[in-house]
Amino acid sequence: MIRAYSDHAANERTFLAWVRTGIAVIAFGFVIERFNLFLTAVAISAPIEAAERTRIERLSGPLGRYDGLALIVAGLAIILLAALRFLRTGRLIDDAATHTAESLRAELVLSAAIIVVVAAFSAFLVLA
């Protein structure tokens, strides 16, 4: 029997939840990137009026390009952070000494960054 099995299993479940979250953030970043590509293609090829073309070109501007990339990078950072936390927590579970709970600064910073990127993209779509 594995010593502290339930703790190791909880650690693994938490790791897998973080990986799922990272993959979802990466997928959302890809969706934004493809949406930007779609808007660019529509603006170039569709026979539309100049005002509508300008509006579509504004939607596919720099914010749309960098929002998707930022989400992809944030998703990769989430997965990397999850792997590091999984390994560290596994070592702490096996250690006989008592350890204090570490702060959640990294998770809060990543969550805040994702919230800012999604809010910026949402506001951009609403206002454009």
Q: In Å, how far are 7, 22, 51 from 93, measured between CA atoms?
A: 7, 24, 62
The span from the CA of 52 to the CA of 93, in Å, is 59
The span from the CA of 81 to the CA of 95, in Å, is 21
Domain range for 53: 5-127
> What single-letter DSSP state applies at residue 61?
S
Per-residue pLDDT in tens (0 to 9) along the chain, 128 residues? 678 889 899 999 999 999 999 999 999 888 887 777 666 666 667 676 766 666 666 666 666 667 788 889 989 998 998 999 899 888 988 888 877 766 667 778 878 887 887 788 788 777 76
The predicted pLDDT at position 118 comes to: 79
The predicted pLDDT at position 100 comes to: 73
User: What's the one-letter identity of residue 33?
Assistant: E
H/E segment holding residue 52: helix 50-59
Number of domains, the chain: 1
